[in-house]
Amino acid sequence: MTHPRTAALTDPGLPELAVLLSTNPPAPLEVAVEALDGSVASSRVGQVSWSPGRSVTVRFDVEVAGGPLEGRQTFIAAAGRIPDGALIIEDDGGARIGVWRFPHDPALPALPSAIDPGEAERVLVDLGGTPGPVTTHLRAYRPGRRAVVEVRGAAERMFFKVVRPKTIERLHQIHRTLADVLPVPASLGYDDRLGLVVLQAMDGITLRDAMARPEVDLPDPGVVAGLVSDLPHPEGLEPAHSPLERAQQMMPMVAALCPELTARLAKLSEGIGEETLPADRPVHGDYYESQLMVVNGHIVGILDVDTYGLGRAADDPSTMLAHLSVWGPISPQPERVRNYGNALLSIWDRLVDPADLRRRAAAMAFMLATGPFRVQTPNWPEEIAARVAIAELWAESARRVDERTLMPFSE
């Protein structure tokens, strides 16, 4: 059931938001399913990505009655930014919505093949793998943006990363560049027509999983800090989005989701401040505990280097600290996460400007605040407020940085 506050959302610059969220099922979804000779028996909002006044993408979990698709299906509806090839549905009120069925994402033409075991086996054999049954498992999917599919064969395991075709060559080159100096997955090949790159599977478990299991040794915090302190600087790197700028851009959205936080958001915005530093050094761009693979207390892999670009010295450290401060309190081992985060903080305090580090951690924690809304958790308004509170603590820590305040959830 859609959360009442989700169903009540409106956007004057994007009337399609209310069309998609206020009724269950929305009319465009019914039209799309009927075009496939079925009807909607039930539907549930599974995920919402919303940029006020600009775009909205909603994933629906649908039970289809009748027709060749009878059973559970996933449909996506988008407005504002609609990929070419989507079924376009317009209503008398001027709403224009594009709809497609997973895995037939018009922005990700490789996705149907990547998820199909037969096609996946063909790719695996072409790369020299062992012929035999193959299983595929969708590990991540951001409609219109990217997908990650785990492929397991008789003797091999690898990952297919599906992106927009125009970005695939750059992604392949990033993996080739970084694999020479860091334990990133090697690119085993790519298809620039479809937008598919085949990546080496990395051993181990994520640092997040390792932290959650007290019997597992953790890597030296100095190693985790050091991995992003001296990244290579090849030509052609693009500037990464500033976390400070992105946080400021998100303020109106969070205010629309939780109007009761408006006054607090204004103060938080002031504490985060504006970007004043140039993007002049290489950064991972999304460096946090789930991106690191661990075996016997050693880092053996760094994942998701799509975001590799030019940023600021505190961008990667602040991303890691923000993620730990948001996840730590709800993790199975909060004290272990807190202690590890504080060890990282004490290292990074000596390497970068401590006040700038904390401002960026506040910005990153704030950007994580909308996660519960995006995945539509049952209590997303309360969870957003809790994450905003963590961002506020980071911002307050930046104001009194001479005290070298430890991670917010340690207070």
Of 80-84, 122-126, 343-347, 381-385, minimum mean pLDDT range: 122-126
Whole-angstrom distance, CA of residue 108 vs CA of residue 20: 22
CATH number listed for the domain at residues 111-200: 3.30.200.20
* Arithmetic mean of pLDDT, 132-156: 94
Query: Per DSSP, what are the bridge partners of residue 89?
Result: 97
- Cα-to-chain-centroid distance, residue 80: 20
Kindly provide the b/e burial profile for residues 80-117, where b requires at least 16 CB atoms within 10 angstroms of the residue's own CB: bebbeebbebeeeeebebbbbbbbebbbbbbbebbbee
Question: What is the share, in percent, of the chain residues with pLDDT greater than 70?
Answer: 98
Averaged pLDDT of the chain: 94
48 C-beta neighbours (distance < 10 Å), count: 21
Domain pair 111-200 / 205-410, same fold: no
Residue from 143, 26, 32, 13 nearest 78 by CA: 143
The CA distance from 190 to 169, in Å, is 8
Predicted confidence (pLDDT) at residue 206 exceeds the cutoff of 90: yes
Q: What's residue 130's pLDDT?
A: 82
What pLDDT does residue 404 have? 57
pLDDT at res. 411: 47
Neighbours of 198 (CB within 10 A): 23
Burial of 193 (0-12, 13-18, 19+ CB in 10 A): exposed
pLDDT, residue 35, reads 95
Residue 131 binned pLDDT confidence (cut-offs 50, 70, 90): confident
- Delimit the domains of the chain by residue range: 4-101, 111-200, 205-410
Distance CA 228, CA 4 (A): 43
CATH code for the structural domain at 205-410: 3.90.1200.10
User: Which of the pair, 128 or 104, is modelled with greater confidence?
Assistant: 104
Residue 364 CA, chain-centre distance (Å), reads 13
Can you tell me the distance from the alpha carbon of 87 to that of 106, in angstroms, rounded to the nearest whole number? 10
Question: Is residue 10 scored above 60 in pLDDT?
Answer: yes
State residue 54's pLDDT score. Answer: 95
Confidence of residue 125 (pLDDT cuts 50, 70, 90): confident
pLDDT of amino acid 123: 86
Please determine, for residue 150, whether its predicted confidence score (pLDDT) is greater than 70: yes
Which SS3 state, helix, strand or coil, does residue 283 take? strand
Q: Is the pTM of this model over 0.85?
A: yes
Q: Is the pLDDT of residue 410 over 50?
A: no
Q: Where is average pLDDT lowest: 71-85, 266-280, 393-407?
A: 393-407
Per-residue pLDDT band for 405 (boundaries 50, 70, 90) equals low
Q: What percent of the chain has pLDDT over 90?
A: 84
How many Å apart are CA 212 and CA 331, to the nearest integer?
7
pLDDT of 403 reads: 58
Stronger pLDDT, 181 or 148, i.e. the higher one: 148
User: Count H helices, E strands: the chain?
Assistant: 15, 15
Q: What is the predicted pLDDT for the residue at 383?
A: 98
Q: Which tens digit of pLDDT belongs to each residue from 234-267?
A: 778 888 889 999 999 999 999 999 999 999 999 9
In this prediction, residue 338 has a pLDDT band, given cuts at 50, 70 and 90, of very high
